[in-house]
Structure 1
Amino acid sequence: MKRLLAVALSLSLVALVSMTAGLRHIPLADYLAALTHYDPTNPAHVTLRTVRLPRLIAGLIAGGALGIAGTVMQAVTRNPLADPGLLGVNAGAAFALLLGTILIGGVGAADVAWLTFPGAALAALAVFTLGGGLGGDAGPVRLTLAGAALNAFLLSLVTAVVLVRQDTLDTMRFWVAGSLSMAAARPLGSMAIAAIAGAAIALLAAPRIEALSLGDALARGLGTRPGAVQAVALIAVTLTTGAAVAVAGPIAFLGLMVPPLARMVAGHDMHRTLIAAALIGAAVLVAADVLGRLILAPGEVRVGVMTALIGGPVFIWVARRLRPGAAT
Structure 2
Amino acid sequence: MALIQWWVGALVLMLGMAVGLAAWWWHRLRRRGDGVAVAGLERVRALPAFRALVRREVRARRLEVLSLVLALAGAALMAARLVGVSDESEQMRTRDVVLCMDVSGSMAPVVTDVLDTYLSLVAELSEERIGFVMFDGNAVTGFPLTDDYDFVVRGLRDARVAVEAGPVPGTEAPRSGSSLVGDGLASCVQHFDRPEDQRARTVVLATDNLVSGDAIYTLAQATELAVQSEAMVFGVVPDHNRAEATAELRSQTRRTHGDVLAVDAGDDANTVVIARAVERQEKKAILAAARDHSFDRVEPGGLMLVVGLLGAWTSRRRG
Q: Give the TM-score, by structure 1 length.
A: 0.23
Higher helix share: 1
Higher strand share: 2
Q: Give the TM-score, by structure 2 length.
A: 0.23
Which structure carries more relative contact order (alpha carbon 8 Å, separation 6+)? 1
